[in-house]
Structure 1
Amino acid sequence: MEYKDYYAALGVPKTASAADIKKAYRKLVRKYHPDVSKEKDADAKTKELNEAYGVLGDEEKRAAYDELGSGLGNGMGGAPRHGQPFRPPPDWGSGFESFADSDSDFFKDLFAHVGGRRRGFQARGEDSHATIDIALRDVYEGATRTVSLRVPQQDESGRTITRERTLNVTIPKGMTEGQQLRLAGQGQPGSGNGGAGDLYLEIRFAPEPRYRVEGRDVYETVPVAPWEAALGAEIEVPTPSGRVTVTVPARTQGGRKLRLKGRGIPGAGSAPAGDLYLLLEVVLPPAETPAAKAFYEQMARELRFDPRAGLK
């Protein structure tokens, strides 16, 4: 007997979701249905598709098929290949009830004793993935946030429904954008007595116009008055780690960058803390009153400043 790769028959990877498997099956069945297909082997192909989906479209049959394939191997460190000589172990499926509803010898031999439930069968639940938006300051001291997830579950009748689940999540100090938090046992439920999968939450920083983050370095735009930039000044600046006092050097031009070493995102593990860069932006007071307009006119007369003097 030759091994049948049901995943290859449907053209999906072994990691495909149930929805992807169903979608692939429906597409191929429409293509090869004997009533509409002009392919010579349409009838045989349709039977092959039905057989493959009969296994992969059923959660427990698929788990049993995957368990057998991963356990046997092909002698070269991998699962058995399509068309390779194959025979299930003598004791395979001894705890199953029958559902051998296919003409395929492979299907019959593989699932001759497999029923709607296998006594003692266990399969770990799938891992779940989601994103969580947090404020930049949350990773400076750590924080606890509440997240709500919509997860599929089975009700008392065995139907799959969607329920909302709320979790309190601890954000460790020093997380960077794109890192993942692993919450053990908070993924999809397992089959039988199999444990639940894990939930992975990808960290994403909520947009904040004043800040830009690159790795562990943080860039903050800081507005300064013209006289602070021209004459120099001590100014107080709010940062994600608290307020700091910095010196604006005299004759500062817009775009000047001040580096505060170690005041970026805190270090974690062997990773050192990042730096905080203050990007100085000169902001002009609006000429909205007669006095302000007169002051600007006086500056134009007395300073005779041409910002474009160096342009050619």
Structure 2
Amino acid sequence: MNPYEALGVKKTATAEEIKKAYRKIVKESHPDLNPGDSAGEERFKAASSAYDLLKDPKKRERFDRGEIDAQGHERPEAHFYRNYAGARDNPYAGGQKFDDYEDVSDFFTDFMRSAHGTRGGAGHEHLHGFHADGADVRYRLEVPFMDAALGGTTRIMLPDGASLEVQIPRGISEGQTIRLRGKGGQPIGKGRVGDALITISVAPHKLFTREGDTVRMVLPINIYEAVNGAKVEVPTISGPVSLSIPKGASSGQVLRLRGRGIAPRGREERGDQLVELKIVAPPRIDDELAEFMERWRRKHSYNPREGMKP
């Protein structure tokens, strides 16, 4: 199906309009939200395949130019068939000429049918020994932050309705590609089965961000902990640990937890976790605290903004 038709948008639609149309279909037709709705599931599959193609500007341009099909596969060059379909020594030439076909794919279908049927059922291998590798198939997959950091397993749904199990390597980062050998397009003759190439995007986490193999987070602390210091529990990607807050800590101060970051793909040594402190005032300032702070200010007044004049 034409990807624009699958999403119900015009060929001139903007990227935002395409995204909006896809999200609408997901809400209306996702199998998990509409169990038993086979028609809705088919619509969801078609929309997912279409969005995967059109959300990528380069793929969209290539599709619009006719270089790839709706599944992202390379289209065969038309002049190849035009040059050879009418040749006198073409053993598969029948009563129809290339120009009789409205679409090159129709010609290729008849060409392959001739190879299977009229030549004794020899199949692809009878095409004068012609062999070709299957096409590599590309997908994009968003994985949870923790799966990217620690590794995991997930499944993706293919455009034809089948599913594929994907092992997420520990430490994989945004934009890296997983290659699943033999999970791509089928070959011709004795060619090699294509591969599935899965480009990873990492979903944001509510606590952690990543910079290379370093994990960063912001840790709220109260006024007492900032003034007097304390030992507090801090979350890390591999579980909570104890962290010592020094006396007189300030918001923006960064503490380091060594070896609590991410082990880059293919390596064992882990990076660090950086903890940025943030002093948080009590949700309610009562009279006792206000009076205490006023007495303290009179005796120990200081200006933290001193020296900030340009």
Give the gaps of 5 or more residues in structure 1. 1-15, 27-57, 67-85, 103-110, 152-162
Tell me, in whole angstroms, the C-alpha distance in 2 between the residues paired with 1:63 and 1:190. 20
Match of 1:123 among 123, 128, 132: 132
Query: What residue in structure 2 maps to residue 228 of structure 1?
Result: 225
Tell me, in whole angstroms, the C-alpha distance in 1 between the residues paired with 2:234 and 2:151. 22
Give the match's secondary structure for 1:137. helix
Tell me, in whole angstroms, the C-alpha distance in 1 between the residues paired with 2:179 and 2:93. 37
Alpha-carbon deviations, 1:31-59, whole Å to 9, x = none? xxxxxxxxxxxxxxxxxxxxxxxxxxx96
Larger Rg: 1 or 2? Answer: 1
Give the match's secondary structure for 2:227. helix
The reply to whether residue 148 of structure 1 matches residue 157 of structure 2 is yes
How big is the shift at 1:243? 0.8
Tell me, in whole angstroms, the C-alpha distance in 1 between the residues paired with 2:304 and 2:59. 62
Alpha-carbon RMSD: 4.0
The reply to whether residue 259 of structure 1 matches residue 256 of structure 2 is yes
CA contact (8 A) 1:287 1:293 kept: no
If each structure's strand is expressed as a fraction of its own residues, which one has the higher value?
1
CA contact (8 A) 2:251 2:278 kept: yes
Query: What residue in structure 2 maps to residue 171 of structure 1?
Result: 168
Give, as a single letter, the amino acid of the residue that structure 2 aligns with 1:248. Answer: I
How big is the shift at 1:137? 2.2
Alpha-carbon deviations, 1:100-127, whole Å to 9, x = none? 536xxxxxxxx9xx66554425433322
If each structure's helix is expressed as a fraction of its own residues, which one has the higher value?
2
CA contact (8 A) 1:212 1:219 kept: yes
Alpha-carbon deviations, 1:71-103, whole Å to 9, x = none? xxxxxxxxxxxxxxx99xx9x965x3446536x
Give the gaps of 5 or more residues in structure 2. 1-57, 68-73, 100-107, 116-122
Alpha-carbon deviations, 1:189-217, whole Å to 9, x = none? 44566554211122222112422211111
CA contact (8 A) 1:136 1:240 kept: no
Taking a change above 3 Å as real, the CA distance of residues 244 and 63 of structure 1, as seen in their structure-2 partners, is farther
Query: What residue in structure 2 maps to residue 133 of structure 1?
Result: 142
Query: What residue in structure 2 maps to residue 244 of structure 1?
Result: 241
CA contact (8 A) 1:140 1:241 kept: no
How big is the shift at 1:181? 0.9
How big is the shift at 1:225? 1.4
Deviates more, 1:216-225 or 1:127-136: 127-136
Give the match's secondary structure for 1:230. helix
Aligned residues: 222
